[in-house]
Amino acid sequence: MSILPACGLALLLVFTPARAPNAQPASPAPLDAPQASPLDVVVPPDRIAPASTAVPGAVADAMRAAALGSAEYGVAVVPLDGGAPLVWHNADAPFNPASTMKLVTTHAALALLGPNYRWRTQILMRGQLVGDVLQGDLVLQGGGDPKLVIEDLTEIIMRLRARGLREIRGNLVVDDSLYDVGDSAVEAFDGDRSQPYNVRPNAALMNFKATRVSVRPQTGGLAVDLDPPLDVPIVDEVKLVRGGCRFGVAGLAIRDTGPDESPSIRVAGTYSPACGEQSTMVAVLNHRQFIHAFFGAAWRAAGGQWEGRTVVERRIEPNLPVLVRWDSPRVLADVVKDINKYSNNVMARQVMLQTSADPQRRRPATLERARATLNAWLEKRGLRSPELIIDNGSGLSRRERIAPASLARLLVDASRSPYAPIYLESLPVVGIDGTMKGRLKSDAVAGNAWIKTGSLNDVRSIAGYVDGVSGRRYAVVMLVNGPRAGNSGAAQDALLRWVHSN
């Protein structure tokens, strides 16, 4: 398949959806974060397209000021209505894209599943309902919902209670058979499973397997609260110290501990009352433990009784009676917006897996099958490129690779799709919302660019669309790989300003 030619693209259709509103939606999820793992290939080869279009002077100057060499970044700026690229620097070279890889995953998912795709979670029973008591197991059959949060679980439990169920005299059985993601509890990426960005996908994922830990000084000590509540003990080992606030909640170590069947959450470190109330999101407990604690707390809060265990089973007998059929109140278009606006890793990974899921559960979705599904779709669309490596689809990977030209071609393709407005509006609006909320707020480009960001140690990236003052719209990609990539923010901003003003 040919790479985007230097002479530009001939397009059949141009999209001009309405700009994203200035309203700022509530942040729904833990975000991705820079990591400590080294980049396996720091500097890509210096391959510039034969008819290279020069990097704007302001961008080149900012790169030199950041001590970044010419080979450490690639740029492609392409008008959506055809014509020659404005900028074409190392555009065919493979780079680690960090979270801009989510643009590939979400474009494919919207096409393969449809913007109105809705996830289904079912509550089944294995046993008999005698009066208000279930003599047997309650089965939670995961449907891959990437955003089944506490509000959803509360409603599911209310429906169970409305069915007359008060007491469960059995276990909670988790059916994760829709996905096969392996048994590892810790991500190989950096091994820190307390970080929300490291949460692994599961068919019965709940609340991103994360909770907000709040600490609040009070008379005689410190109050520690969890939101949503989890039915586990909290071990408070925080030492209150005098003086001003230095690190706050960021200086605390929050980890789960204890035996598998009776874990607890340990909060340790020092904290000054001068810090006031602070909170942080953490991923605690393993998948089974989290569901046990999450469901148990919500069930008892609704007046239910249950003293059983939680077990995970790969195969559930067919035709069990359905107590509650829960269709997510969010469609894929809503989830794509969360993924791209706030760069949520686990949601992106769930969506990628869902593209290869078999609703009849004849075979589970796997990472290998999901990669094959995305690659086949890209091939069909003429977007498959030799350098492209899809790992988990979120960008939280040291293996993933794409060239700026390939990502620009994908953005152009998305601009011609039936769901182009949905895709555009899922992106952070420069100076207004998402991960671009705090950048270029007072600049003319604010509100005129829709940009997905990416950030890992040794990687910084931006990709999306910019409206020029001329009225033309451009696909813009800048991928930076190198030990000083974190210094490239000024150059990225300079590129966005230049595209808008020129």
1 CB neighbour count, 10 Å cutoff: 11
Give yes or no for a contact between 87 and 75, defined as CB atoms under 8 angstroms apart.
yes
Q: pLDDT tens, 445-491?
A: 999 999 999 999 999 999 999 999 999 999 999 999 999 999 999 99
Q: What pLDDT, on a 0 to 100 scale, did the predictor assign at position 186?
A: 55
Q: pLDDT tens, 282-337?
A: 999 999 999 999 999 999 999 999 999 999 998 899 999 999 999 999 999 999 99
- 300 and 435 assigned to the same domain: no
Average pLDDT over residues 3-29: 35
- 295 and 163 assigned to the same domain: yes
18 occurs within a structural domain: no
Q: pLDDT tens, 416-448?
A: 999 999 999 999 999 999 999 999 999 999 999
- The whole-angstrom separation of Cα 177 and Cα 315 is 6
Average pLDDT over residues 90-95: 98
- 270 and 300 assigned to the same domain: no
* The pLDDT of residue 90 is above 50: yes
- Can you read off the two tokens belonging to residue 130? 């005698």
9 occurs within a structural domain: no
Percent of the chain, pLDDT > 70? 89
326 occurs within a structural domain: yes
Q: pLDDT tens, 382-396?
A: 999 999 999 999 999
- 69 and 178 assigned to the same domain: no
- The whole-angstrom separation of Cα 473 and Cα 167 is 59
- Cα 446 to chain centroid distance, Å, stands at 24
CATH assignment of the domain containing 148: 3.50.80.20
- The whole-angstrom separation of Cα 87 and Cα 80 is 14
Kind of pairing, strands 87-89 and 73-79?
antiparallel
Q: What pLDDT, on a 0 to 100 scale, did the predictor assign at position 185?
A: 55
**Alpha carbon separation from 206 to 111, 162, 200 (Å, rounded):** 26, 22, 11
**Who's near 249: CB < 8 A, 6+ residues apart?**
213, 215, 271, 275, 278, 279, 280
27 occurs within a structural domain: no
142 occurs within a structural domain: yes
Of residues 98, 56, 219, the one with CA closest to residue 479: 98
**Who's near 279: CB < 8 A, 6+ residues apart?**
212, 213, 214, 215, 227, 249
352 occurs within a structural domain: no
Instruction: Name the band, by pLDDT with cuts 50, 70 and 90, for residue 54.
Output: very high
* The pLDDT of residue 17 is above 70: no
430 occurs within a structural domain: yes
- 186 and 314 assigned to the same domain: yes
- 406 and 481 assigned to the same domain: yes
Domain tally for the chain?
3
The parent domain of residue 296 ranges over 118-207+286-331
- 215 and 201 assigned to the same domain: no
- 187 and 215 assigned to the same domain: no
- 418 and 439 assigned to the same domain: yes
- 197 and 267 assigned to the same domain: no
DSSP string, 65-102: HTT--GGGEEEEEEETTSB--SEEESTTS-B--GGGGH
- The whole-angstrom separation of Cα 502 and Cα 495 is 10
Percent of the chain, pLDDT > 90? 83
315 occurs within a structural domain: yes
Three-class SS state of 254: strand
CATH assignment of the domain containing 89: 3.40.710.10
- Can you read off the two tokens belonging to residue 483? 């030990």
Instruction: Name the band, by pLDDT with cuts 50, 70 and 90, for residue 10.
Output: very low
- 312 and 276 assigned to the same domain: no
Instruction: Name the band, by pLDDT with cuts 50, 70 and 90, for residue 82.
Output: confident
pTM of the model: 0.88
Q: pLDDT tens, 260-286?
A: 999 999 999 999 999 999 999 999 999
- 199 and 291 assigned to the same domain: yes
